[in-house]
């Protein structure tokens, strides 16, 4: 009788333990793969500069420290100039974008984002992760990562400041599972909840929330893995009620698993929006994008 009970209990435990299983192959700590184009980057006492070429498209860039802790960046592509003046010590930046020839306003479009996304991938492939890249290159990479996600409906000239009294709400602890920032998860460390607002009832609506395992643990060709019943599916749940999600560096600033390792509240909410039934540059996620910008530029790395 006792052996029967034990066998039943063991079977039950095995069933519970394998109910969710593992989504897939553990993610590796590399930059985005598959970026096309050629990066020519030069470093000297004046900072970093160079070009990124993809077919007929050329991106010219420069980044230099103009005074202690203040960096001036410029990226030019497709008749547009993007500039940033970043005061890293005070967490304040002035961003701008305009038509190169006339200096008048322009707008970020799909083709611009695609080119910047490839440029970002090339920077990730070329530069060391995190602070090892050097400040000029690191802030350039962060700014490019931010511009590569810039929605068309958000204007280019912006003043970006961290919210007073709050700093950056870091979620580094939630980026670990089993005590590690990378690799598969023998057990999960769920963060509740990634949230965004739309007409369904705002941040408190359960269909605008996800239960997320942050961190670089799994990767797939869709937006993420989400749990459908007892099966992990690669893709994007469209306004499900609090689905469990993991993969592709959910919660990390920048697109995908870029070269910096900042996991923050605002970045998590932004991912929760663009990976929950909205496109990356969806206007419905404008507020989350704007809120996450200061995190992406200035929040510290988790590791």
Partner 1 sequence: MRSLSRWERDLLLVGVVLLAGCRPAVTRTEEATDVVRRFFAALPEGNCDQLAPLLVTGADAQPCAAVVAELNRHAVRLLEVESAQEDGRNPDAILVRARLAQGGVPRANASILRVERQGSTWRLRP
By CB under 8 A, tell whether 197 contacts partner 1: yes
d(CA 125, CA 138): 13
Identify the burial level of 50 via C-beta atoms within 10 angstroms of its C-beta, where 0-12 means exposed, 13-18 middle and 19 or more buried.
middle
By CB under 8 A, tell whether 290 contacts partner 1: yes
DSSP letter at 207 equals: G
By CB under 8 A, tell whether 229 contacts partner 1: no
Strand order in the sheet with 191-195: 191-195, 209-213, 244-246, 224-228, 231-235
Which of 78, 83, 94, 180 is close enough to bind partner 1 by CB under 8 A? 78
The H or E element containing residue 288 is helix 286-298
Count other Cβ atoms within 10 Å, centred on residue 273.
Answer: 26
d(CA 227, CA 234): 9
By CB under 8 A, tell whether 193 contacts partner 1: no
Q: Name which of 133 and 297 has its Cβ closer to partner 1.
A: 297
Which of 17, 21, 69, 79 is close enough to bind partner 1 by CB under 8 A? 79
By CB under 8 A, tell whether 103 contacts partner 1: yes
Identify the burial level of 10 via C-beta atoms within 10 angstroms of its C-beta, where 0-12 means exposed, 13-18 middle and 19 or more buried.
exposed
CB of 203 to partner 1, least distance (A): 11
Which residues inside 127-156 make contact with partner 1, applying CB under 8 A?
152-155
Which of 57, 74, 96, 287 is close enough to bind partner 1 by CB under 8 A? 287
Residues in contact with partner 1, counted by CB under 8 A, come to a total of 27
By CB under 8 A, tell whether 102 contacts partner 1: yes
Q: Name which of 17 and 79 has its Cβ closer to partner 1.
A: 79
CB of 275 to partner 1, least distance (A): 17
d(CA 222, CA 211): 18
CB of 269 to partner 1, least distance (A): 14
Q: Name which of 43 and 200 has its Cβ closer to partner 1.
A: 200
Q: What does the H/E/C string look like for 223-243?
A: CEEEEECCEEEEECCCCCCCC
Q: Name which of 49 and 150 has its Cβ closer to partner 1.
A: 150
CB of 101 to partner 1, least distance (A): 7
By CB under 8 A, tell whether 200 contacts partner 1: yes
User: Which residues make beta-bridge pairs with 43?
Assistant: 48
CB of 104 to partner 1, least distance (A): 4
d(CA 258, CA 32): 6
Which of 73, 198, 245, 257 is close enough to bind partner 1 by CB under 8 A? 198
By CB under 8 A, tell whether 221 contacts partner 1: no
d(CA 127, CA 131): 10
Q: Name which of 17 and 201 has its Cβ closer to partner 1.
A: 201
Q: Could you tell me the two tokens for 220?
A: 């797939």
List of residues contacting partner 1 (CB under 8 A): 78-80, 98-99, 101-107, 152-155, 197-202, 283-284, 286-287, 290
């Amino acid at each position: 009788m006792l052996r029967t009970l034990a066998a039943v209990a063991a079977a039950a435990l095995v069933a519970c333990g394998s109910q969710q299983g593992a989504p897939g192959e553990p993610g590796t700590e590399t930059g985005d793969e598959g970026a096309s184009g050629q990066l020519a980057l030069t470093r000297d006492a004046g900072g970093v500069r160079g070009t990124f070429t993809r077919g007929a498209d050329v991106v010219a860039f420069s980044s230099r420290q103009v005074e202690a802790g203040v960096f001036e960046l410029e990226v030019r592509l497709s008749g547009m100039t993007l500039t940033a003046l970043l005061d890293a010590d005070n967490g304040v930046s002035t961003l701008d974008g305009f038509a190169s020839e006339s200096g008048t306003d322009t707008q970020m479009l799909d083709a611009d984002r695609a080119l910047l996304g490839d440029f970002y991938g090339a920077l990730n492939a070329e530069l060391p992760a995190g602070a090892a890249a050097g400040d000029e290159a690191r802030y350039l990479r962060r700014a490019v990562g931010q511009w590569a996600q810039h929605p068309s409906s958000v204007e280019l000239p912006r003043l970006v400041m961290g919210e007073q009294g709050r700093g950056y709400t870091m979620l580094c602890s939630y980026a670990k599972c089993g005590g590690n920032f990378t690799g598969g998860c023998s057990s999960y460390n769920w963060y509740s909840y990634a949230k965004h607002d739309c007409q369904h009832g705002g941040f408190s609506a359960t269909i605008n929330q996800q239960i997320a395992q942050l961190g670089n643990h799994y990767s797939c060709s869709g937006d993420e893995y989400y749990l459908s019943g007892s099966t992990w599916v690669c893709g994007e749940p469209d306004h499900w009620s609090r689905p469990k999600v993991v993969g592709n560096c959910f919660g990390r600033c920048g697109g995908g698993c870029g070269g910096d390792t900042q996991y923050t509240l605002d970045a998590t909410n932004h991912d929760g929006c663009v990976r929950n039934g909205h496109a990356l540059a969806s206007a419905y996620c404008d507020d989350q994008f704007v809120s996450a910008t200061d995190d992406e530029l200035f929040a510290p790395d988790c590791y």
